Amino acid sequence: MKTNINIIETIAALASEAESNWLVEQKTLTGKALALSFVKVPRFISKINIESGEFSGWTLDQLVRVDIVTQLDEANVTALFETAEMQEAVALTRSLPYLPNPSSFLLRATDAVRSNMGPVFDAIAFGNTYPKDYFNEAAWNQLVLKCIFNDKAIHQIIGLDERANQALADTLSDFAHERWSAGRRVPSQVWRLVPRFINESLRSDIEKLALSKNPRDVVAASLVKQEVQNPGSTHGLWQELEEPEPIYIV
C-alpha cells in the first residue's frame, strides 16, 4: 500500500476553502454514506488539472475521490466498482495502490487491462504502480502488449524495464515480424524490452532494424546493441524515442 499523505497535501494545496470544508465534512461519514460522497464529488470539487508531482495529469476531483475511497472498507469499495460509470472507474482504478489491501483488488486491476474504455485502461497502464507491484508475469505482459498492439506510448508504464522478461521479448519479436510483413513498423521504444533477453532470433531482428529508413529505428538498434555490450549504459537514452501517441485524459 502506498501512503496517502501526498494525496492529502496535494488536495490541501489546490482545493478552495469551500472544497476543503466539504471534504472535511464528508470524511466524518462512514460506510455507505461515505461511498455516496465518492459519487457526489464532481458536484462539489472542480476538475482543475494537477500539473506536477506524483499526481501530474490527474484532476482535483479524481484525487479527492481517491482520498475518499481509501477511507472505505473493502465491501463498499467493491460496491463502487460494480456500479461505477467511466469517470468513477478511472478514479477507482487510480486508487488501487493506495487502498489498505491492494492485493484484494487484483481482479479489478486485470479487468481494467481488458477494458474497452480507453480512459480506464490508461488509468491502470500509465503512471500506476499497481501492475508493477502486484501483477504476475502473464498479466504484466498482457498490459504491455495491449499498449504495443494499440500503438500506445509505453514509456509511461511504471516498471517497464524492471519487469521486462523473456516471454515478452519473444512475443515482441513475433509481433514485429507480423507488422513488417504487413508493411508496418513497430514503435521504436518497444525494443528497450529486448537487450537482457537477446537470442539469435532477436539479434536478427535488431540487424533488420538497423537497416530501417526510419532514423528512430536505427537509433533503437544502436541502443539495443550498446545495452547488450554494456548493461545499464543506455539508462535515460530511450526517452528520445518516445512515441507521440496521446493517452486519454478524463
Q: What is residue 248's predicted lDDT score, i.e. its pLDDT? A: 33
| Average confidence score pLDDT of the chain | 93
Q: How far apart are CA 10 and CA 45, in angstroms?
A: 14
Residue 245 has pLDDT above 60, yes or no: no
Calculated CA dihedral for residues 117, 177, 162, 153, nearest 10 degrees = -40
Supply the pTM of this predicted model. 0.91
The pLDDT assigned to 241 comes to: 79
User: What average pLDDT score do residues 149-166 get?
Assistant: 93
CA gap 13, 73 in Å, rounded:
27
For the cut 70, the answer to whether the pLDDT of residue 250 exceeds it is no
Question: Rounded to 5 degrees, what are φ and ψ at 49?
Answer: -75, 140
Report whether pLDDT(44) > 90.
yes
- For residue 49, the SS3 value is strand
In this prediction, residue 79 carries a pLDDT of 97
Quickly state the pLDDT bin for 144 (edges 50, 70, 90). very high
Q: What is the pLDDT of residue 213?
A: 92
